[in-house]
Structure 1
Amino acid sequence: MLRKVVYTIIIFCLFATCSKNDDSNELPKFSNQTVQSLDSIINSEIQNQNLPGVVVGVWVPGVGEYVKTFGKANLETEVPRELTDQFRIASITKTFTGLRILQLHDDGKLNIDDTLVKYFPDFPKANAIMIRHLLNMNSGIKDFADHEFLHIWYDDLLMPFSMEEAMELSVQDSADFYNAGDSVIYCNVNYTILGLIIENITGNMISEEIHEHIFKPLGMNSSIYPNDKILPGKLKGYSWNESENKFEDKTELNPDVPNAAGAIISNIYDLKRYVKALYTGELIKQETHEEQINTIQMQGSPEWVQYGLGIINLCGFYGHNGTIFGFSTEMFYLPEKDAVIIINVNRLDVDDNSKSGPLFFKIAKYLFPEHVKW
């Protein structure tokens, strides 16, 4: 689900048969020097951050591709990481939930300028909070997923939970809500509420809606919105136990905790297909897409850290990142170069500090120095 720091800035940011259905064979290869430099960047971060394993996919049409694995999928069996590993994408899930909301807007089933009064009339400030505010992270709602909650969940990853409970927890802090539309502040419960709205309008589970209207049309055959604790395949996710000086297996968890804000499982090839479709507005109307990518600076962050309607903009890299116990992931698209960068690390600790963020920032800066400000 959850948010956290991506390198030196704060960015708040979770079954089918695995298949390699990309067009990577059509791309040239990067030069040996570029490959060696990328190898060096990644190996350095593996050493510095004690990362169990890493999968990196970089595709730059007309220039080259770099698709590679490092380290272990399972520290006990020493099975290596594979390119087709399915992993928990955490908060990247928000882009799917947001996209489904925008599709329903296009279909006339809802309007993103509807207020919560229409769906949850008893919710605090329901007459002022619009669906648009939830999408844009400027609803004013306080996030329940603070450090105290994270520690509780860390110790009991299978604890019972529901989207309704998440809403109830946020209501307890309603005295601390700020005015909707004032500031863009990352809040997981925004997307939990959006998930409930999707279910209320369609009469279907959020997992069914995302499968039918996003996974299926895009051919994302290795992506699932899980309804149980299982992660398909051999990959394990780890957290470092500081007091015992060892890794702990955090692979299995109750997906109802991250829910519509962070539950999805995918792999690098599906995310490659998806992030470009997300940015280009392939599954929504053009006018809706223009609103989607109209991004606003996030409070307390540099001016180049911005949030749109379910999408992050970092210096023109569009997509999202995600952190959830055991896994840290980056998914970004640079339209000026038609370039995609996908990174997954099978480690995320209780502090929720991104392990993939430093890799993304260093790789993006090396490959596209003219586009970055970090």
Structure 2
Amino acid sequence: MKKIIITGLFALIITSGFSQNFNAKRLDSLFQILEKNNKFMGSIAISENGKTIYTKSIGFDDITSSKKSTSTTKYRIGSISKMFTASMIFKAVEEKKINLNQTIGNYFPTVKNAGKITISNLLNHRSGIHDFTNDAEYLTWYNEKQSRAKMTERIASGNIVFEPDTKGQYSNSNYILLSFILEDVYKKSYGEILNQKIIKPLKLKNTYLGAKISLENNESNSYTLSGKWEKEKDTDMSIPLGAGAIVSNPTDLNIFIESLFAGKIVSIENLNLMKTIKDKFGMGILEFPYFERKSYGHTGGIDGFRSIVSYFPDEKLALAITSNGAMGYDNNNILLCALSSYFQKPFQMPSFNNAEITTATLDSYLGIYGSIQIPIKISITKKESTLIAQATGQPSFPLEATSSNIFKFEPAGVVMEFNVEKKEMVLKQGGKDYLFMKE
């Protein structure tokens, strides 16, 4: 959600439901490389036909105390929370407490276009309500407790991005409002509804609405990699609610998505509505392609936590990854390795053979670079022995040296090649080259 974005390798766990074709050694090798190079902290679980066939955890719940992560470590899952919220909205529909086509004017009369925006529009991001996490001042209050009235005021104060149901555009505000609607129709807090409708029926042992992080309860702090792991400040969970405040772990996430697709949470008819994609968005569900196959699920990011859950209905295959370290090795690459291990597809292992470069050489690359090809400027600064890049209007990110003048940021597939004599920098991303000149 918020931009609302090691040691200790643990034993592989395999059950009797193990897929005969699953290449566990490949995933083991990836985690050994990530551990050795200090590039990932988090957990993975893979389930087939409702049985866990692989789990792994590396890193630390807390670096300061060297508290290692295990399969019972719990993580903030960010926007995967939206799948839970959408499921509970459809439960309310099935219980005839609300309907998808009713407008939200009676709930939120101060929200612009509330008389035209439906519950359905909130679910599939077609409301036109602005995303409050994009507000310039968001990072000044995201770690402070917010009341429902204040959050409603913040959402209502934003401009309409587009007219309802004319397009789709992701907005966390939609799921904050859906959380409040659930509280109104059930006359209970969001956390109580979550327990009653999903957690207790599915017997989820490690899932609940988050509060202040508790290491004693096997929760994890989150970190961002910037040369070394640096602890992130924590979003106050009064803010995201059903948009991003749930805590869970990969095993529970797999149980949840398996149960959802088995019709154990909402009817198959309503599940089909949830996974109907329009302008890239379903109702609390996203679609992920993998070669000729497709899966359904969601991603999440809040503070330094990153997560993904994905389900392949034909194979009854569920995969979930939760991480408490951002800017390291991307979760999506781990997911691709897991899928390649299951579906017998090729996968390129990462290489982290970072070059040692003198301070004088690093200093020669510092400065501001501009390009006539794309309308952004990139600032190159240094933190200790690490170059830091920051493009106009975007967060900064660390660069890793692969040679004396070539650096990369693997999570975004960015490569930067510097030429000091010509005062040039070539940015390579997505198969394209962009020439930048030093100002």
**Residue in structure 1 matched with residue 186 of structure 2 by the alignment:** 202
Q: What code does the residue aligned with 1:58 have?
A: I
SS at match of 1:363: helix
Q: What is the alpha-carbon distance in structure 1 between the residues aligned to residue 244 and residue 32 of structure 2?
A: 28
SS at match of 1:117: coil
**Residue in structure 2 matched with residue 161 of structure 1 by the alignment:** 146
Q: What is the alpha-carbon distance in structure 2 between the residues aligned to residue 369 and residue 137 of structure 1?
A: 35
Equivalent of residue 240 in structure 1, options 205, 224, 228: 224
Q: Deviations over 1:196-235 (max 9, x none)?
A: 1111111110110011111011111221113545465344
Aligned: 1:329 with 2:319: no
Alignment of 1:330-349 (within 5 A): 330-348=308-326
Counterpart contact for 1:345–1:355, Cα < 8 Å: no
Q: What is the alpha-carbon distance in structure 1 between the residues aligned to residue 50 and residue 179 of structure 2?
A: 39
**Structure 1 length-normalised TM:** 0.80
Alignment of 1:33-112 (within 5 A): 34-45=23-34, 50-51=39-40, 53-61=41-49, 65-112=53-100
Q: What is the alpha-carbon distance in structure 2 between the residues aligned to residue 62 and residue 211 of structure 1?
A: 22
**Residue in structure 2 matched with residue 279 of structure 1 by the alignment:** 261
**Greater per-residue helix proportion:** 1
Structure 2 CA distance for partners of 1:231 and 1:138, relative to 1, 3 Å: farther
For structure 2, the 5+ residue unaligned runs are 6-12, 346-429, 431-439
**Residue in structure 2 matched with residue 360 of structure 1 by the alignment:** 335
Alignment of 1:123-202 (within 5 A): 123-146=111-134, 148-149=136-137, 151-153=139-141, 157=143, 159-174=144-159, 176-202=160-186
Percent identical pairs in the alignment equals 24
Quote the offset at 1:152 in angstroms.
2.6
Quote the offset at 1:73 in angstroms.
2.6
- Asked which structure has the greater RCO (Cα within 8 Å, sep 6+), the reply is 1
Q: What code does the residue aligned with 1:177 have?
A: V
Q: What is the alpha-carbon distance in structure 1 between the residues aligned to residue 215 and residue 239 of structure 2?
A: 15
Counterpart contact for 2:47–2:319, Cα < 8 Å: yes
Q: What is the alpha-carbon distance in structure 1 between the residues aligned to residue 189 and residue 196 of structure 2?
A: 11
Structure 2 CA distance for partners of 1:66 and 1:241, relative to 1, 3 Å: closer
Equivalent of residue 210 in structure 2, options 210, 218, 226: 226
Larger Rg: 2
Q: What code does the residue aligned with 2:16 have?
A: E
Counterpart contact for 1:2–1:262, Cα < 8 Å: no
**Residue in structure 2 matched with residue 312 of structure 1 by the alignment:** 286
Q: What is the alpha-carbon distance in structure 1 between the residues aligned to residue 261 and residue 86 of structure 2?
A: 13
**Structure 2 length-normalised TM:** 0.69
Q: Deviations over 1:10-56 (max 9, x none)?
A: xxxxxxxxxxxxx963312666x8222112333445567832x2211
Counterpart contact for 2:260–2:266, Cα < 8 Å: no
Q: What is the alpha-carbon distance in structure 2 between the residues aligned to residue 259 and residue 317 of structure 1?
A: 26
Equivalent of residue 200 in structure 2, options 216, 226, 250: 216
**Residue in structure 2 matched with residue 304 of structure 1 by the alignment:** none
**Structure 1 residues 142-151 or 232-241, which shifts more?**
232-241
Quote the offset at 1:115 in angstroms.
0.6
**Residue in structure 2 matched with residue 17 of structure 1 by the alignment:** none
Aligned: 1:267 with 2:249: yes
Q: Deviations over 1:177-210 (max 9, x none)?
A: 2011122211101000001111111111011001
RMSD between superposed Cα atoms in Å: 3.1
**Residue in structure 1 matched with residue 274 of structure 2 by the alignment:** 292
Q: What is the alpha-carbon distance in structure 2 between the residues aligned to residue 220 and residue 64 of structure 1?
A: 15
Counterpart contact for 1:240–1:248, Cα < 8 Å: yes
Quote the offset at 1:59 in angstroms.
2.1
**Residue in structure 1 matched with residue 15 of structure 2 by the alignment:** 25
Quote the offset at 1:79 in angstroms.
2.7
Structure 2 CA distance for partners of 1:24 and 1:278, relative to 1, 3 Å: farther
Structure 2 CA distance for partners of 1:140 and 1:291, relative to 1, 3 Å: same
Q: What is the alpha-carbon distance in structure 2 between the residues aligned to residue 41 and residue 147 of structure 1?
A: 38
Counterpart contact for 1:295–1:308, Cα < 8 Å: yes
For structure 1, the 5+ residue unaligned runs are 6-22, 299-306
**Residue in structure 2 matched with residue 302 of structure 1 by the alignment:** none
Q: What code does the residue aligned with 1:25 have?
A: T
Q: What code does the residue aligned with 1:50 have?
A: K
Counterpart contact for 1:2–1:188, Cα < 8 Å: no
Q: What is the alpha-carbon distance in structure 2 between the residues aligned to residue 165 and residue 62 of structure 1?
A: 42
Q: What is the alpha-carbon distance in structure 2 between the residues aligned to residue 180 and residue 62 of structure 1?
A: 39
Q: What is the alpha-carbon distance in structure 2 between the residues aligned to residue 45 and residue 257 of structure 1?
A: 33
Aligned: 1:249 with 2:231: yes
Q: What code does the residue aligned with 1:69 have?
A: S
